[in-house]
Amino acid sequence: MQTRTLGTPAARGLQVSALGLGCMGMSQSFGPRPPREEMITFLRAAVDRGVTFFDTAEVYGPFHNEELVGEALQPVRDDVVIATKFGFALDEDGTQTGVTSRPERIRAAVDGSLRRLRTDAIDLLYQHRVDPDVPIEEVAGTVKELIEAGKVHHFGLSEAGVETFRRAHAVQPVTALQSEYSLFWREPEEAILPALEELGIGFVPFSPLGRGFLTGHVTADTEFGEGDVRASLPRFEREALKANLALVDLIKTVAERKQATVGQVALAWLLAQRPWIVPIPGTRRLERLDENLAAADLKLSPQDLAELDAASSSVQVHGDRYPEAMQRMIDR
C-alpha cells in the first residue's frame, strides 16, 4: 500500500496509507450491526493488506465503535494510526443531544476514548462538528494542552469552514480536515482545498463513494432497510435517486475502458486530485475492501480525469446531503 502524509513535515506530518478505513458502519447507520468477532477479524485483515489509517468516533454506536477498533488493533497498535472524534453531547444512555466542545467535555471525551481504544495516545483527534457556542480558539487551545500532555498527537477538524480552520490553525497546527468529497459532492474544491493547500493541512474525504452511491450497486429500485441512514437522506429519496444515477452511468464509461469498477474509478479520481488527500471509504466486507484498495494502483490519464470532471459537472445532484437538522450542523 502506498503512503501519504497529512500535514506538513514542519508540523510533524502524519504518514498513513493512501486509503484509510472508515469504521462507523461496523456499529451503526447501515443496517444491523455485524457480529463483533467478525468485525475484529475484518479489521485485522485490513491491517494485513496494508491499511494503517482507521477512523472512528466516540459517538459511533455510541462508544461501541471505539471499543471494537481498540480491541481489534491492540495487537498492532504501534503499526497503525487511529483517528477519533469528540464534539457531540451525549446523555447517560448515549443518546445524542446536540454539539458541545466545552474544554471540560473535550478532556472527558479524550479520557473515555483512550480507555476504549486501549491506547496511551490518540494519533489524530478531530472536533466532530463545530460548536457555535465555544470559540474555536478555545477548542484548539484545549487540544494543544492535550498534545503537550502526551494524550493526543495531532489535531483535526470535521466539517469546518475556511475561517474556522484558519483560526484554529493559528492556535494549534491542524493536521487534517475531514469533510465529504467525491465525484458526487465537489463543494470543497471552491474554497476549502485552496486554503488547505496554502496552510499545509491534509484532507480526509469521508463518504468518498457517496455512501455507496458511486459503487454502481445502488439502483433506482434499491430499498434501504431498517437502520440504514440512507432511507432518511434527501439524495436517496426515490425521485432524487433516479436523477442522480445519471452520474453513475457516465462514470461507467470510464470504468469499462479501464477494466475497473465504478467505485475504483471514483476513488482513483479522488486520489488524483491532490497528493495530500486520503479517502476513508467504509465497508464491512472483505471483497469490497479489496476492491477499494486496488483503486490506489489505478492510474487515470489526463483524458480520463477530464472526462470524469465533465461528467460530474454535467449532472446536477438532487437532494441535500443531510436532513435539515443535520445540515444546520455543518460549518461553512
Q: Which residues are catalytic?
A: 60
Query: Is-contact 21 281, C-beta < 8 A?
Result: yes
Helices (H), 119-207: 136-148, 162-171, 192-199
CA 74, chain centre distance (Å) = 22
CA 4, chain centre distance (Å) = 15
Characterize 288-326 residue by residue with b for buried, 16 or more Cβ atoms within 10 angstroms of its Cβ, and e for exposed. bbebbbbbbebebeeebeebbeebbeebebeeebbeeee
Please tell me the distance from the alpha carbon of residue 103 to that of residue 141, in angstroms, as a whole number: 9
Please tell me the distance from the alpha carbon of residue 82 to that of residue 121, in angstroms, as a whole number: 9
| Identity of the amino acid at 270 | L
